[in-house]
A and B are shown apart, each in its own frame.
Chain A
Amino acid sequence: MTTSRNYTDLFLPISAWLTGFDTTELQATGMTATYYATITTKNTASCIDDFFAQAELVLQEGGGDEDKTNSLIASQLFPTSCYNNLAQNIITMWYTGEWAPDVNAAPSLAEAHNISPNAYVQGLMWTAASTHPPGAKQPGYGSWADPPIGPPVDAPLTSISNAR
């Protein structure tokens, strides 16, 4: 069974609102195609159809207004009871590289895996915390002796507003 259409045009903008990272930051991970494939593989087609139908409405009704859009997401998409917890699983996926239901269902911690090796490396929780994933993107000898240098973590979410 397949979804009634391809939702990649909606996946990035709704991911941006869900994660707080703008679409450019999300695309820069190189994970967009992998993650879209993950959600469509791990959920029923009807769940995906319903979720994106609602997501499209939320984005339209929100009209790029931050408070309004967030309020709609909080009531229409975010609750764990909605769409098999898809919104929260999408957030966890971008932040950690894990498909949470698979990790939670693993027979042991040793057998719990990320979506892919690169999904771990591209996890956005490290960026949010002004650091890098341990074991990758190393910042160089002695860099830890100073506060991190990088783009300000509180950058305005301009491209989210402009996303649709």
Chain B
Amino acid sequence: MDHEYDVVLVGSGIAGAVIAKTLTQAGKRVLLLEAGLAAGMALSPEPSYANYQRYLETFYSKANKATNGPYPDLPDAQSPDVLQIEAKTPYDEGYLVQNGPLPFASDCLRSPGGTTLHWLGNVPRMLPNDFQMKTLYGQGVDWPISYDDLKPWYEMAEYEIGVSGDVAAQVGPDMDRSNYGDDYVFPMKEIPQSYQDQVWMKNTENLSVSLYGKDYNVTCVSMPQGRNSIPNPAYRKTGIFWNDETKRLELAGDEPGKYEVVGAIWDQNTGNRCEGNASCVPICPVQAKYNALKTLKKSDHSKLDIATQAVVSKLLVNDTTGKLDGIEYKVYANPASPIYTTKVAKGKIYVLAAGALENAKILLSSNAANSSDQVGRNLMDHLVMLMWGLFPEKVYPYRGPGCTTYLPTFRDGEFRKDFAAWISPLDNWGWSWPTFAPGSDVSNGLAAGKFGKALRDSLADTVTRQALLHFECEQAPDPNNRITVSPQYTDLLGNYRPVIQYDASDYMRKSFEAAKKVGDQIFAANGIEDFTDYNPSDADYVTWKNRGYTFWGAGHIVGTHRMGSSPADSVVKPTQQTWDHDNLYLVGCGNMPTLGTSNPTLTMTALTFMAAEAILKQLEA
């Protein structure tokens, strides 16, 4: 690999895969550097099947079903892990150095395919008002682009991920048919809403709740998802391609009924429909759920070189030209050994797609792209407050995808001046998240002296009635929530580890109070007996007005190299080219100036298609 590529790309998650596919299909030569194992990069049938079965066996074998459990833990390219989050700061016991005052509660995966291997796959769009938080609500910043600017790119992202959903159902504050356009449909029909959702809806749809003296009408909406269902015959798009004449990336096709479902990477006939494994997080056994390897596989592999077990250590910035001269990376043979070979990759353009933590870490390690002093700052996540209880009747959880319905009611409103907005997914998997149920129900039953038929009956009676309601609260950007690097904290290859400083502001804490008030009313209307328990020993336990709340991470790691309209206060331009180095682009959730209440992957994918077009334009100029 001593020759020069058009593009050197770092990371094979969804952002990297979109860049690799789009650029190689446009005839550009790309080198992809991936820190994870070669085995995980297998795209041909037998090796990819064999590797994925190893993931699945590992998932089965582990007692705890956490997000990164099925996937290799690599000392040479560590991932954060939610199992390493502890109720104390500062500490340095996992990959992240957690300086607090609160521990950062989310993880991601450094592996071929990235975090899409364990993502849930919820893909609601952001709302138009989310792009104007400063102007409308005096919070955070405005985006340098509008919802309308992003709209055509959302359509590309929905094609690429293969979204199943009902556009007409997407109605709520700042959201209706006009967000999508009159004739727009998703590639596939909506994933059926769960039986449990239908029970929730009986008493929740059009429920009036009161909050701080104002009434709100609660509604329930089917969740758009990146998992396969039945192709929508009205969908008319057939592909994304670079138009060499117009110099535009275009979503092609105007022919109904042509959408082809994308199956498993080892067999197109596997995973053509979601089969109800109910394990989307951390692994879909049949790959009916989208993952980035599906996109990567569609690349023009005659134009794509992939180097795995290749961990980027430094960007080589030329102080005279202000451009990058290359990317230094360390290649390991054994992921648990400190032995490596250092190499340098050269291209006309460089793209970092390594995730919000790693992108910022690489930039900080290289003193690159940081004239604004914004690299690593404004680290955000959805702060997830959970409420759990027992329905009066059996609702049969632990079936179907993790979420098939959400409440849009508090995604937008004047209250955003005062406290954070949230989206409320209804959860189909019982109390598994907060209490590790139903294993904990077995141990609690034993502790209560139950065995035999009494134990079996008690599980049949209670586990089947478990309800879980989420509040995914939009964390506002805060420059002090940040990652830094320090020579004190390095990994086995001598690369930096992220040092995190993190807290939940009053704006967030008030949203927990508000969400709990709303949740109490929803529980009451459904006759749900509340078993929610926030404990001071929880990792992210916070207080507000003398009441305690616990939040969990959503795995939505966002905002460490934000996009803006000025080099003074942002890292990348709207094209996602860095302000400081015109041959360096950043892609991924790190570019998002604010988070909104959407799971960020869809929006990030839309942004990445925008970046791909900008990169192609620059290469052709």
A contact set with B: CB distance below 8 Å: 17-21, 66, 70, 73-74, 78, 87-88, 91-92, 95-96, 98, 100, 103, 106, 108-110, 112-114, 116-118, 120-121, 125-126, 128-132, 134-136, 138-148, 153-154, 157
Contacts and interface: CB of A to CB of B under 8 A. Distances in A.
A2 B321 CA distance: 77
A102 to B, nearest CB: 9
Contacts of A96: 63, 439, 442
A128 B63 CA distance: 19
A42 B273 CA distance: 43
Contacts of B524: none
A112 B443 contact: no
B451 A139 contact: no
B459 A129 contact: yes
Contacts of B400: 143-145
A141 B273 contact: yes
Looking at A113, A129, A134, the one whose CB has the most chain B CB atoms below 10 A away is: A129
A48 to B, nearest CB: 19
A104 to B, nearest CB: 10
A153 to B, nearest CB: 5
8 contacts: A73-B452, A110-B64, A110-B81, A116-B61, A125-B441, A129-B464, A135-B283, A144-B192
B460 interface: yes
Contacts of B446: 88, 91-92
B441 A135 contact: no
B285 interface: yes
Nearest to B284: A135
Given A73-B452, A113-B63, A154-B457, A134 B442 contact: no
A110 B59 CA distance: 11
Interface stretch (B169-177, B304-312, B391-399): B391-399
Contacts of B429: 134
Given A129-B464, A130-B396, A154-B460, A138 B61 contact: no
A134 B278 contact: yes
A103 B283 CA distance: 22
Interface in B65-90: 65-66, 69, 73, 81, 83-84
Contact of A18 (B60, B275, B452): B452
Interface of B: 56-57, 59-66, 69, 73, 81, 83-84, 192-195, 198, 229, 273-279, 283, 285-286, 394, 396-401, 404, 428-429, 438-439, 441-443, 446, 449, 451-457, 459-460, 463-464
A114 to B, nearest CB: 5
Nearest to B197: A145
Contacts of A121: 60
B274 A120 contact: no
B438 A118 contact: no
Contacts of B192: 142, 144-145
A147 B398 CA distance: 12
B398 A110 contact: no
Nearest to B402: A134
Contacts of A134: 65, 277-279, 398, 429
A131 B243 CA distance: 50
Given A139-B399, A145-B194, A128 B456 contact: yes
A68 to B, nearest CB: 13
A117 B273 CA distance: 25
Contact of A113 (B61, B198, B229, B457): B61
Contacts of A21: 456
Nearest to A134: B279
Given A95-B455, A109-B63, A129-B464, 8 more contacts: A19-B456, A110-B84, A114-B61, A116-B61, A117-B61, A135-B285, A138-B286, A141-B274
Contacts of B83: 108-110
Given A112-B62, A125-B441, A138-B285, A148 B396 contact: yes
B589 to A, nearest CB: 25
Contacts of A135: 56, 59-60, 277-279, 283, 285
A148 B196 CA distance: 11
